[in-house]
């Protein structure tokens, strides 16, 4: 007997899979992304202006701070920070699947270009461990 509270949903009521996120929605549209890109632009403009000034006019504390901020406003860091939400959304929509556990046991180097593998042919013979003295 079926309870009234447990009615099977009709196909119209079932949840559709989440749409695939677009990168622009994570790298450009949020307010924090716009703020991050604006601060990165101001940082790089300031760094270029510091390069044009003679060394004796620099404020050493400001220069040290600008050097340390390279790690914060590096374009690769900006993409990594803003891309984290994008990657989470991609995994959440089911388009990318992350499997837990150890990495695959597939060799990382092609055996035909690996100097330690005998299948690499003449490359293997150039390995210093196989060279013997002829004396």
Its pTM stands at 0.54
3-state secondary structure of 7: coil
DSSP letters, 80-118, are HHHHHHHHHHHHHTTSS----SSPP---SS-TTT-TTSG
pLDDT value of residue 121: 73
CA distance 26 to 37: 12
pLDDT value of residue 113: 78
pLDDT value of residue 26: 82
Contact of 87 with 27, CB cutoff 8 Å: no
List per-block mean pLDDT (blocks of 10 residues) for the chain, which spans 135 residues: 56 64 84 90 88 76 84 87 87 76 69 76 64 54
């Amino acid at each position: 007997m079926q309870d009234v509270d447990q009615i099977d949903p009709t196909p119209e009521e079932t949840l559709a899979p989440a749409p695939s996120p677009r990168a622009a929605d994570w790298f450009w549209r949020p307010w924090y992304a716009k703020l991050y890109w604006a601060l990165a632009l101001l940082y790089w403009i300031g760094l270029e202006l510091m390069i044009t000034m003679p060394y004796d006019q620099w404020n050493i504390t400001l220069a040290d701070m600008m050097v340390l901020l390279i790690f914060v406003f590096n374009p690769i860091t900006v993409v990594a920070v803003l891309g984290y939400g994008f990657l989470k959304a991609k995994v959440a929509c089911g388009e990318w699947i992350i499997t837990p556990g150890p990495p695959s046991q597939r060799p990382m180097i092609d055996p035909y270009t690996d100097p330690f593998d005998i299948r690499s042919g003449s490359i293997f013979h150039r390995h210093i461990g196989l060279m013997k003295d002829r004396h």
